[in-house]
Structure 1
């Protein structure tokens, strides 16, 4: 599944809407879902490069922007945000001395760069949420297909999907109930 296929599937619902506009709204929905829901988390590879210099930078995969560091490891030991390091717009600042290694491993949350798409498996996984986000934006445009009530419905579904994505990221992409059954007292 890719953005073009999603745009073509959404096109019949919005007669007269150009495919380029639909694609733009789908890309907006991808960026928003990644930014608010931590949908795209990169765990393999280096997270911080040039860590042993004052100019340490967060490394993002091609076609992506790094949003935030989820986990950072130094020699297998996790570093604590706010205590061991601080992330800012231009890179990473180490608060308790610079590490000896030039590359640090960990996990980062990413979003697609402008004009780029998420990986195909993520688009397939979050297809309905992306469609809801695009519908929300498209139905608010001052065009013949405008429908504010339906736009509000899709906005709420998109926000619910963002909340679900954020919760899944916190839970480690696991499913199941958070309720536990207590042992009987005998």
Structure 2
């Protein structure tokens, strides 16, 4: 007699149940895998949505500040006072390396030149979020902003443009022809890959 002859055959109900348990475990593993892939997809979607929302907020800030500066220029447009905004060559560029002068003290009144200096300083501080700080560091405004103000070199009535450039989060192909901030936002895709830019142009008369 062989030793195997003493083994009790597996009852059909038990064997079937064991095979069923095996299939259930496999199904659970597949479900976990599918669920994990779905969770990763949702996480990536949320990250993309957060980046897009942040980019939209940055563009809204730039648009608001550019429009506000143009209105301040319109209010201070008597005579040739506009030359204080564009300088003698018709262009003024403000960035971290070349910020505007400190704001003058206008407690006893300001000349048109001092008003322009005050406008430019306030504009620059708002771009950098100077009014929103944490531990002494600015937390608002735009990321690495550059502002360019263009108009007639003699400050006469004409077309004036305020252009604001800043650093975005994603590297994109930048086809904008503006030279504002040129070369300061390069990325893997090429020149100005991280540059975001907004321009507002208007006519300012006497």
The TM-score with structure 1 as length reference comes to 0.26
- Between structure 1 and structure 2, the one with the greater Rg is 2
In terms of fraction of residues, the more helix-rich structure is 2
For CA contacts below 8 A with separation 6 or more, give which structure has more relative contact order: 1
In terms of fraction of residues, the more strand-rich structure is 1
